Amino acid sequence: FFARPWVFIRGVPAMKFLPPEGPPEVAFAGRSNVGKSSLINGIVGQKGLARTSNTPGRTQELNYFVPDGFSGEAGDLPPVAMVDMPGYGYAQAPKEQVDAWTKLVFDYLRGRATLKRVFVLIDARHGIKKNDADVMTLLDKAAVSYQIVLTKADKISALALPKLEAATREAIRKRPAAYPAIIATSSEKGFGIEEVQSAIAGFAEV
């Protein structure tokens, strides 16, 4: 299903607009500008599917993407859905807006029975920050499985990358809901994408 085109089905500005729980979902969380939307585009091989930007705060709703060709009616559900999320930690937007996004993201992450895995994206240049740790703690408490994806790995040296991977592995070792394997990616250069695809494929119901 990564070979077929994917489509945007819904933007969710608040919990009450979530689609009814249906197909397994995987979600992409991370600080503003970390590369969530770019990674989704890399996964499906469609540059413009999720909107990306140099300016943090691009994605403002929970955006649902599914493979094309399913009606969504009972018996014809897509095998999996990907959910792009607003970034956290973006200080430039008005406070009420940031609070609303953060609440939406946190409520969704905590309360969605069909959410199978959260990819927590970490910029390879910056490592895990306090708000990333806060999100991981929330997921640990809610017992929602998550996996670290390092992004923009093209921006650090070939020597720095294994060191960062080792430090990250150590940082999550005692976290109960963290999946131990870490994936290093570059949406720019296209590496690591297949590993994310196979992780997602493992949750699909086909």
Given the rule CB under 5 A, which residues bind Mg ion?
36-37, 58-59
Nearest to residue 38, comparing CAs of 111, 121, 113?
A: 121
Site track for ligand GTP across 120-149, x = CB under 6 A? ------------------------------
Radius of gyration, CA atoms only, the chain:
16
Q: Which two tokens stand for residue 95?
A: 């406070």
Are 85 and 146 in contact, with CB atoms under 8 Å apart? no
Tokens linked to 44:
């499906």
Nearer to ligand GTP (CB atom), residue 63 or residue 177: 63
Contact letters (x/-) for ligand GTP, 50-89, by CB under 6 A?
--xxx-xxxx--------------------------xx--
Nearer Cβ to ligand GTP (72/195): 195
The label of the residue with tokens 């729980």 reads: 21
- How many secondary structure helices (H) and strands (E) does the chain include? 5, 7
Q: Which residue's Cβ has the minimum distance to Mg ion? A: 59
Q: Which stretch binds ligand GTP (CB under 6 A): 31-39, 112-120, 139-147, 166-174?
A: 31-39
The torsion angle over the Cα atoms of residues 125, 151, 179 and 170, rounded to 10 degrees, is: -10
Q: Any contact of residue 102 with ligand GTP (CB under 6 A)?
A: no
Residues paired with 147 in a beta bridge: 119
Tokens in use for 121? Answer: 């994206």
Q: Judge whether 156 and 64 are in contact, CB under 8 Å.
A: no
Q: Which C-beta is closer to ligand GTP: that of 36 or that of 117?
A: 36
Of 53 and 198, nearer to ligand GTP (C-beta) is 53
187 binds, among ligand GTP, Mg ion, none (CB under 5 to 8 A by kind): ligand GTP
Interface positions with ligand GTP (CB under 6 A):
30, 32-38, 52-54, 56-59, 86-87, 151-152, 154-155, 186-188
